[in-house]
């Protein structure tokens, strides 16, 4: 009698899938390689294969799988279920992925941008439970994000909203992957933190970071910086504080614009926890309007790298009711 | 048989009121002084007097006035109809203005922040007609704003959203009235433009601006700067371009975050028209993500200083249906 939902997180390197029930209990989790270089058709058949395998491995009756949710990196036409463009998936331009999956799997399918889906995961079962208006920053190699308004993913006019990583906070700052200068992503991503550390180490190796990266500045990562900061290294602490200040400017801006109840910081970089959040909060306090600020908490994400699959199962639950599904197929399922 | 709505724009200096029908036709417009220094009770009785006078002067039958909308500068508890705090109205802290007006006027009342209301006016009858997702900047002495999502004012968690003027775009920039540094307001408001001109004139008087302000740099206004720029003055053009660039950073950020269909630039400073919009658009093109940007137009507001009263009449129409009204009073009206 249980209703189950399959969440799939399609990434440039891996595809993860999880079976979840409507109460948020996870039954099965599986991860395979994306092998994006093999091309679009191959990735889609691997997706279909995974979507069939996971319910089977869980001995789930077909009729108990209600719907499938999918997070895809890139620009998504949500109502039509089309991947317009994906920087991480070569050749993915105008791919009607929902139709392809519906034809193969005979289930209602909901797709959305991967960062939006991860944000929705944190709202459903993570740090944002029972909060209706929140913003999620995902700090990794890049900086992604999602805005949740009244419990739903905020999409904007043509489904491109929520690009929290591409807000300019330092007009003459470092160049961003998007072509702009001084974006949040260019200042607080793991890549940005490593770049700052690398440049500093090339000037002076007088830091624990130098030892942690095996005395090869080109191998330094954000993780090395946070490890060194925790041990009291001066350079590392300076970099972490500066990173937190930049992130704090971004968060304060978001608070003044959107007045969310909660700001969640997730992604690999957020593993630094309070070390990073302390300077974030200090900067936000300086810059956010006090009426908005009083209402807003800033916390670390709770779902780690499962936010994507969990959120994807979460949006699958919406597919049941939404026009972003195909009722005819459902009846034949 | 006509339904009429009264919109009231309560400002620090003036109170304006307009009678509008549901098709957006204006029947009567009246403006009185606020005399805020006389105190809260006095201002409220002047409001009540005005709300009675305008329909009478238009020979409107009481039963044809369906509802009243009110825009108030400051932080508003919208669902409860309470002015929490108003920097422009001395002594206005936790004022249950809706209850006061309902008791006196026996009509459903809707209140909201004045910048939100002006944004709603532009959405209803101005540059944003038939657009559902838009952002309105109001550039005057300060910088206000409003965010319209799916046709409605976006309030955020506790009704403080839409502070477009208090987004940091230059972390070490000039101090803002809010206490922060480098806010949009501190860089592109009329006050900011005048400050930049004044400082420049004190260094060198070699500019038409110097003549236009009567050779008294302390008397310079943003208007002088735009006048001089139109006549080809080099300093003035430099100031206008710089102002447009800063505003462009802010607009690009808003586009990347919210992906609106339309950005409207209103308020006195927007009188500069294309002179200001050209550098805004150039900067936005450099900084906005191309998928969002392709969907977004940037235009000048159309309602001038009537956006407030018109928007207030617009939100009055919502009072009819919303819980932000008092159905019992309506029946006794």
Residue range B93-107, pLDDT digits in tens: 999 999 999 999 999
pLDDT at B326: 45
**Quick one: A302 exposed, middle or buried, by C-beta within 10 A (0-12, 13-18, 19+)?**
middle
Find the helix or strand (DSSP H, E) in which B45 lies: helix B40-57
Strands A65-72 and A109-113: parallel
Is the pLDDT at B323 greater than 70? The verdict is no
76-115 of B, contacting A, C-beta below 8 A: 84-85
> Who among A167, A168, A257 is closest to B164 (CB)?
A257
Can you give the pTM of this predicted structure? 0.93
Question: In chain A, what residues touch B166 (CB-CB under 8 Å)?
Answer: 256, 289
Domain assignment present for B22: yes
Q: Report if residue B72 sits inside a domain.
A: yes
Domain for residue A168, yes or no?
yes
Partner B contacted by A259 (CB < 8 A): yes
CATH of the domain at A142: 3.30.420.40
The answer on pLDDT for A120 being more than 70 is: yes
Choose the mutation target among B287, B288, B294 for the interface with A, i.e. most A CBs under 10 Å. Answer: B287
* 8 Å CB contact between B112 and B315: yes
Contacts of B154 in chain A (CB under 8 A): 149, 258
Q: Give the nearest chain A residue to B156 (CA atoms).
A: A259
Q: List the end-to-end C-alpha distance of chain B, in Å, as a whole number.
A: 16
- Mean pLDDT of the residues in chain B: 93
Between CA A59 and CA A64 the distance in angstroms is 10
The alpha-carbon gap from A247 to the nearest alpha carbon of chain B, in Å, equals 12
Verify whether the Cβ–Cβ distance B167 to A75 is below 8 Å. Answer: no
Contact B291 A85 (CB under 8 A): yes
Question: Among A156, A167, A249, whose Cβ lies nearest the Cβ of B171?
Answer: A249
Q: Are strands B65-72 and B109-113 parallel, antiparallel or unpaired?
A: parallel
In a mutagenesis test of the A interface, which of B131, B142, B145, B163 is the best target, namely the one with the most A β-carbons within 10 Å?
B163
Q: What is the mean pLDDT of residues B248-256?
A: 98
Domain residue limits at A284: 131-302
The C-alpha of A52 sits at a distance from chain B's nearest C-alpha, in angstroms, of 34
Residues of chain B contacting residue A254, judged by C-beta atoms under 8 Å apart? 257
**B138 and B189, same structural domain?**
yes
Please count the residues of chain A: 333
CB interface of B with A, residues 52-81, below 8 Å: 75
Give backbone dihedrals phi and psi of A4, rounded to 5 degrees, phi first: -120, 150
* pLDDT one-digit tens code per residue, B155-179: 999 899 999 999 999 999 999 999 9
CA A231, A232, A236 angle in degrees (round to 5)? 95
pLDDT tens for A19-59 read 999 999 999 999 999 999 999 999 999 999 999 999 999 99
Contact B292 A160 (CB under 8 A): yes
With an 8 Å Cβ cutoff, is B281 touching chain A?
A: no
Q: How many domains does the structure of chain B reveal?
A: 2
Tell whether A285 lies on the interface with B, counting CB pairs under 8 A: no
- What is the DSSP pairing of strand B143-149 with strand B134-139? antiparallel
Give the ipTM: 0.92
DSSP characters over A254-319 = HHHHH--SEEEEESGGGGGTHHHHHHHHHHHHHHS-HHHHHH-EEEE-SSGGGHHHHHHHHHHHHH
Are the C-beta atoms of residues B14 and B33 closer than 8 Å to each other? yes
Shared-domain flag, residues A60 and A184: no
B133 touches chain A (CB under 8 A): yes
Distance from CA of B61 to the nearest CA of A (A): 40
In terms of domains, do B176 and B322 share one? no
Nearest CB to A156; choose among B162, B171, B260: B260
Q: Does B177 touch chain A (CB under 8 A)?
A: no
Provide the token pair at B3.
Answer: 């339904």
> Is there a single domain that holds both residue B149 and residue B295?
yes
Q: How far apart are CA A64 and CA A70, in angstroms?
A: 18
CA A138/CA A118 separation, integer angstroms: 8
In a domain, B125, yes or no: no
- Does residue A292 form part of some domain? yes
Q: Are residues A173 and A317 in the same domain?
A: no
Q: Give all strands (DSSP E) within chain B, no chain letters.
A: 4-10, 14-21, 26-33, 65-72, 75-77, 82-85, 93-95, 109-113, 134-139, 143-149, 152-153, 262-266, 297-300
Q: Which residues contact B186 (CB under 8 A, 6 or more apart)?
A: B173, B174, B175, B176, B177, B180, B192
Q: What is the pLDDT of residue A248?
A: 98
Shortest CA gap B261–chain A (Å): 6
B47 and B154 share a domain?
Answer: no
Size of interface A-B (CB pairs under 8 A): 125
Tell me: do A287 and A152 sit in the same domain. Answer: yes
> Across the strands, what pairs with B17?
B8, B30
Distance CA A303, CA A204 (A): 38
- Give the lowest-confidence range in A228-232, B240-244, B266-270: B266-270
Q: Are residues B180 and B292 in the same domain?
A: yes
A84/B155 Cβ within 8 A: no
Domain identity same for B266 and B147: yes
Tens digit of each residue's pLDDT (9 = 90 or more) over A287-328: 999 888 888 999 999 999 999 999 999 999 988 544 444 444
Upper half-sphere CA count for residue B331 (Cβ side, 13 Å): 2
Q: What confidence tier does B331 reach under pLDDT thresholds 50, 70, 90?
A: very low
Residues A308 and A117: beta-carbon distance below 8 Å? yes
A205 and A86 share one domain: no
Does residue A189 carry a pLDDT above 90?
yes
* Residue matched to tokens 């270089």: A37
pLDDT score of B330: 40
Task: Give the distance, in angstroms, between the CA of residue A156 and the centroid of all CA atoms in the same chain.
Answer: 18
DSSP A96-151: -HHHHHHHHH-S-EEEEEHHHHHHHHHHHHSTTTT-SSEEEEEESSSEEEEEEETT
Residues A16 and A109 both lie in one domain: yes
pLDDT at position A197 over 60: yes
Both A201 and A279 in one domain: the answer is: yes
Locus of tokens 């008294």 = B216
Contacts of B181 in chain A (CB under 8 A): 287
């Amino acid at each position: 009698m249980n209703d189950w939902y399959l969440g799939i997180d399609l990434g440039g390197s891996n595809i993860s899938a999880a079976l979840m029930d409507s109460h948020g209990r996870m039954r099965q989790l599986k991860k395979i390689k994306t092998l994006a270089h093999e091309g679009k058709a191959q990735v889609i058949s691997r997706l279909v294969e995974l979507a069939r395998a996971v319910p089977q491995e869980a001995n789930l009756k077909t009729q108990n799988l209600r719907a499938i949710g999918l997070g895809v990196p890139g620009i998504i036409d949500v109502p039509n279920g089309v991947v317009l463009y994906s920087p991480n998936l070569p050749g993915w331009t105008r791919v009607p992925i929902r139709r392809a999956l519906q034809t193969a799997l005979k289930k209602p399918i909901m797709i959305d941008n991967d960062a939006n889906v991860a944000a929705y995961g944190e709202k459903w079962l993570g740090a944002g439970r029972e909060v209706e208006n929140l913003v999620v920053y995902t700090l990794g190699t890049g900086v992604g994000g999602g805005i949740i308004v009244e419990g739903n993913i905020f999409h904007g006019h043509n489904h491109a909203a929520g690009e929290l990583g591409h807000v300019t906070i330092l007009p003459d700052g470092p160049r961003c992957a998007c072509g702009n200068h001084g974006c949040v992503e260019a200042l607080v991503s793991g890549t940005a933190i490593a770049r700052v550390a690398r440049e500093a180490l090339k000037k002076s190796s007088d830091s624990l970071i130098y030892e942690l990266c095996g005395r090869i500045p080109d191998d330094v990562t954000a993780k090395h910086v946070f490890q060194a900061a925790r041990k009291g290294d001066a350079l590392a602490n300076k970099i972490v504080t500066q990173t937190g200040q930049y992130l704090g400017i971004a968060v304060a801006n978001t608070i003044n614009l959107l007045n969310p109840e909660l700001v969640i910081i997730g992604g690999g970089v957020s593993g630094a926890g309070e070390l990073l959040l302390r300077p974030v909060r200090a900067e936000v306090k300086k810059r956010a309007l006090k009426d908005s600020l009083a209402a807003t908490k800033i916390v670390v994400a709770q779902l780690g790298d499962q936010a994507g699959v969990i959120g994807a199962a979460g949006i699958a639950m919406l597919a049941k009711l939404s026009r972003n599904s195909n009722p005819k197929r459902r009846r034949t399922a």
